[in-house]
Amino acid sequence: MALPTDHNGMFIQGMTDSEELQKFLTLKFPQGEVQETYDRRLDEVKTVSKQDSKTPLRAFWKMVDRSFDQKSEPLQCQEGCGHCCYTAVAATQLEWDGILNNARENDIDLNQVIERSTRTISKVRKVLDQGKDLEQVDWHRLVINQPCPFLNDDQSCMVYEDRPLDCRMVVAYRDACTSKNLEHAQRAVVVDEAVGPTVIARLQHEQTPKIKRRKFTGSQKVRLLHHWLILWQEKNKKKKRR
């Protein structure tokens, strides 16, 4: 089934269904191009990371930014537009570690970040009080239409340099966004969207100590940012109790 695109073959409208997105990516980018880009990105990550003394993930973000910059259509996204930031944002462990690193570098108090999300967090606590664990929480339902915990009052992102792939791939070319329905946001615009999750999974795999590594399957577990924050809080509480 053909998916709705504009005259440039770009997918228009916010894409939130990952299966639908994968189908679209398969149609849009030939397998050979995806494979070749994946291999090239992994090599480039190593070189740039060494050259610029950056983490491999930051080196990859640099490449993703460059891919968007090379698009002919000017990006309409600007600082202070947080329309994409009222939805569920997922991140792998590696991306979350990047956010933690950013918070450390910029003195961001994560306890205050959690405080900003009390509405969501208190709903999570209620679910936990019913005897469920964090993995059983229906996270997407709880965070829908809620601001991301890292969204500043001026609608800018606190951890912009290290925001996850999920945030980087919803962009507006056609027009400035005017509602939270992301109707101007476009996905599957650059080939990095097709290879990004696998590159990140590979980097995470390579950074995991050999003794703890499982067979590489091409993907890594993702959790919503609220979920990572609560896990961080729980871990800290345990450390303090020791």
Residues that bind ligand SF4 (CB under 6 A): 85, 89, 148, 150-151, 157, 159, 163, 167
Q: Quick one: 110 or 151, whose CB is closer to ligand SF4?
A: 151
Residue written as tokens 């930031």? 85
Residue 158 C-beta: closest distance to ligand SF4, Å:
7
Distance CA 99, CA 116 (A): 17
Residue 124 C-beta: closest distance to ligand SF4, Å:
17
Residue 60 C-beta: closest distance to ligand SF4, Å:
16
Q: Quick one: 41 or 163, whose CB is closer to ligand SF4?
A: 163
CB of 34 closer than 8 Å to CB of 191: yes
Q: Quick one: 59 or 167, whose CB is closer to ligand SF4?
A: 167
Distance CA 227, CA 215 (A): 25
Q: Quick one: 33 or 79, whose CB is closer to ligand SF4?
A: 79
Residue 168 C-beta: closest distance to ligand SF4, Å:
8
Distance CA 122, CA 127 (A): 9
Residue 215 has a CB neighbour count (10 Å cut-off) of: 5
The phi, psi pair for 16, rounded to 5°, reads -110, -10
Q: Quick one: 29 or 150, whose CB is closer to ligand SF4?
A: 150
Report the chain's C-alpha Rg in angstroms.
18
Q: Within 13 A of 183's CA, how many CA atoms are on the CB side?
A: 3
Q: Quick one: 46 or 180, whose CB is closer to ligand SF4?
A: 180
CB of 167 closer than 8 Å to CB of 89: yes
Distance CA 169, CA 189 (A): 8
Residue 159 C-beta: closest distance to ligand SF4, Å:
6
Residue 217 C-beta: closest distance to ligand SF4, Å:
26
Q: Quick one: 57 or 89, whose CB is closer to ligand SF4?
A: 89
Residue 39 C-beta: closest distance to ligand SF4, Å:
28
* The two structure tokens encoding residue 73: 């259509």
* The two structure tokens encoding residue 162: 């290290």
Residue written as tokens 């664990």? 133
